[in-house]
Structure 1
Amino acid sequence: MWESATDYEAVFHALPSAVALLNPQMVYADANEEYLRLSGRTRAQLIGLHLFDVFPDDGLVERRDEDIDAGLARLTDCLTRHPTADADSLADRLLSTLIPLGGNTDDTALVVIRL
C-alpha cells in the first residue's frame, strides 16, 4: 500500500490563506498562522473554544449573554402575536421586538417572506 511522506500538519500551517479546523460541534481544533494573524488571537486563545465564544454574534435571536432558547421564544412570541401582518409590518414589528435595548453591536439583516 502506498504511504504518503507528506507532512499534512506542516502544509496546513504553511498555507498562505487563513484556515481553521472546527469539529462538528463548532469547536476549534486548530488554526494556521494566517488565521491567527487575521483574527488577532493566539492558538491558545482558540483551541478548545466554540466558534461563538471566540467571535460572539449578537443578532436578533442569538445573543452572547443568554441561551438561544430565550431568543427563539421572543421570535415565536412576536410571530404568534402578528399572524396576519403583511411582510413590511411584520419586519417592523420583529425589529422593534428583537433588537436589544440600546441597539445591536452587530449589523442586522432581516428577510421576511410571507408564504
Structure 2
Amino acid sequence: MMTPQDLTPEPGLSFVRGGEGRGKTRLLAPLAAQAAAKGRSVWLEQPADARHDAVLARDWLAQRQGERWSPAVAAALVEALALAEHLDKPLYMLSAGSRRKLGLVGAAASGAALTLLETP
C-alpha cells in the first residue's frame, strides 16, 4: 500500500483513484502537511463536509481568505459559475454541485501552490 511519504506532488496535475474505502481521502491530509512543511501554500478544503452545513456560503469563502487570496478571481468565478444567488444561503441549502463549485472558487482564488481536491 502506498503511503503519503511515497508521493511528492510536483507541479502539474496528479490524479489519485481507487475503489471505495481504498484510502484516497486519508491520503490528502498528510500530503497537505508534507507540502506545508516544505513551505508551500496548500488548499485542502471540503465544503461538502457536514461540519460546514450551518455556515453561509459567503462566510465560508471569507473564512478561507489568506494573504494570497484574489478577490478578482473569486468574483469572476462566482459570476461564471452562477453562485451569486447562493452566497447568502447556509451550505446545507446548496446542492452537492453548488458546494463543489464553491470549493473550486476557493481553490482558484486562494493562490495556493498546491490544490488538493476530493470530489467525484
TM, length-normalised to structure 2: 0.25
Greater relative CO, 1 or 2 (CA 8 Å, sep 6+): 2
Which structure features the higher share of helix residues? Answer: 2
TM, length-normalised to structure 1: 0.26
